[in-house]
Amino acid sequence: MPTEPDDDLVLTLRVNGDRKRLLIPANRTLLNLLRQDLGLTGSKHGCDVGDCGACTVLVNGAPRLSCITLAAEAQDAELLTVEGVAVGGALHPIQAAFHEQVAAQCGYCTPGFVMALKALFDERPDPSDAELNEVLGANICRCTGYTKILAAARQARERMNGRSA
């Protein structure tokens, strides 16, 4: 990995399809890279210690907690953040389901849930309720009680599999 004096490093990666090249401190977290250096504030600071999931992004298709991931670990990676999930101005079915089910109150947790579910659906297009619950249980929502979030996850699953929901 190319480094600069004083422990800065040159990071190249793709974010939501756009190629980026930045000079950053070696200790920059991926979450701070996204929010501070790239202005992508959809990924949220929640706990900052890897417990809540609000900062979840996809790195080469896999969910990662960006608050406890060094940006340097994303060298040459393909990143997807919540800003890149909608395609062509249309909400992703997961986002549409959250909207239709009113599955957010403050909404602070929502990007993390959307990204965690996207990773699941990308890997397992028709997950069971137990698999949905396992993913949802790894993210913290302090407002909704999870009932509507589960309803949204189920709706997204049904719509994405061509079933009515």
Question: Which residues make up the interface to ligand FES (CB under 6 A)?
Answer: 45-48, 50-55, 65, 67, 104-109, 141-144
Six-digit token string for 13 = 């990666």
Residue among 9 and 34 whose Cβ is closer to ligand FES: 34
Q: DSSP labels for 80-130?
A: E-GGGTSBTTBPPHHHHHHHHTT--SS-TTHHHHHHHHHHHHHH-SS--HH
Contact by Cβ (8 Å): 80, 58 = yes
**What span, in angstroms and rounded, lies between the C-alpha atoms of 148 and 14?**
33
Please state the φ and ψ torsions of residue 149, each to the nearest 5 degrees. Answer: -65, -40
For residue 59, the surrounding DSSP H or E stretch is strand 56-59
Q: Shortest Cβ distance from residue 22 to ligand FES (Å)?
A: 21
Q: Shortest Cβ distance from residue 88 to ligand FES (Å)?
A: 27
Enumerate the β-bridge partners of residue 24: 9
Contact by Cβ (8 Å): 107, 114 = no
Residue among 8 and 91 whose Cβ is closer to ligand FES: 91
Q: Shortest Cβ distance from residue 20 to ligand FES (Å)?
A: 21
Residue among 142 and 163 whose Cβ is closer to ligand FES: 142
Contact by Cβ (8 Å): 65, 89 = no
Q: Shortest Cβ distance from residue 111 to ligand FES (Å)?
A: 10
Residue among 15 and 114 whose Cβ is closer to ligand FES: 114
Q: Shortest Cβ distance from residue 19 to ligand FES (Å)?
A: 25
Residue among 12 and 45 whose Cβ is closer to ligand FES: 45
